[in-house]
């Protein structure tokens, strides 16, 4: 396979739905809301969902510090909502959805502002889990919730006990636990995806 010629072609590949994804999304009813859609992976994921099922209402929620990203999604029929998830009024005003992908969070800048990291990675999940209680929810998390491992060990496995190191990792485990708690209390179907590493040609 030839490398993409430009960023437009790269984005086309990143957001190209597989046949299996199209089948799965075709079996799921209701609107899809992507929270934190303005981050590194959010635009590609929202675009992929829309391409997989063009008739589905896809709602992309972010602060949208990059207006160009919002405009590109709006151009293909994705509904853009600007909201601060830490603001209770903004959160309450979001449209209801049967399906939620939670991608909001803070990583960079944790050392300088640990309080804001905990707010985004722990308080916001608690608010969102209540606001969208009952919704089918996929929560993006991180492999940083696992303990450090020896380089020759092969790395952590999914059934390893969490042992986060540092404030960022601890706040991410809090995110998971808060969604788990809401799932038990409200019967919300929640799946947590721990992303260990992401590679994108735009980052060199």
The domain in which residue 114 lies consists of 31-196
Please give the tally of structural domains in the chain.
Answer: 1
pLDDT at 198: 66
Instruction: Tell me, yes or no, whether 9 lies in a domain.
Output: no
Instruction: Tell me, yes or no, whether 184 lies in a domain.
Output: yes
Residues 108-143: pLDDT tens digits? Answer: 777 788 899 999 999 999 999 999 999 999 999 999
Mean pLDDT of the chain: 92
Q: In what order do the strands lie in the sheet with 79-82?
A: 79-82, 58-62, 32-35, 99-102, 136-142, 190-195
Q: What is the pTM (predicted TM-score) of this model?
A: 0.92
CATH number of the domain to which 56 belongs: 3.40.50.720
pLDDT at 137: 98
At 201, the pLDDT band (50, 70, 90 cuts) reads: confident
Instruction: Tell me, yes or no, whether 202 lies in a domain.
Output: no
pLDDT at 203: 65
| Closest to 99 (Cα-Cα) out of 157, 24, 166, 158 | 24
pLDDT at 33: 98
């Amino acid at each position: 396979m030839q490398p993409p010629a430009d960023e437009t072609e790269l984005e086309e590949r990143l957001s190209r739905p597989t046949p299996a994804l199209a089948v799965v999304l075709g079996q799921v009813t209701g609107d899809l809301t992507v929270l934190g859609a303005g981050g590194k992976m959010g635009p590609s994921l929202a675009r992929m969902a829309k391409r997989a099922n063009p008739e589905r209402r896809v709602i992309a929620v972010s602060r949208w510090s990059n207006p160009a990203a919002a405009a590109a999604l709006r151009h293909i029929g994705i509904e853009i909502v600007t909201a601060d998830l830490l603001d209770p009024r903004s959160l309450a005003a979001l449209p209801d959805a049967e399906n939620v992908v939670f991608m909001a969070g803070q990583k960079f800048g944790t050392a300088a502002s640990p309080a804001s990291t905990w707010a985004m990675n722990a308080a916001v999940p608690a608010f969102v889990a209540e606001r969208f209680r009952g919704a089918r929810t996929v929560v993006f998390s991180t492999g940083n919730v696992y303990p450090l491992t020896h380089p020759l060990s092969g790395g952590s496995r999914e059934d390893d006990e969490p042992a986060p190191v540092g404030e960022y990792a601890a706040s991410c485990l809090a995110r998971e636990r808060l969604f788990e708690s809401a799932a038990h209390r409200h019967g919300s179907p929640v799946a947590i995806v721990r992303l260990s590493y992401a590679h994108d040609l735009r980052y060199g």
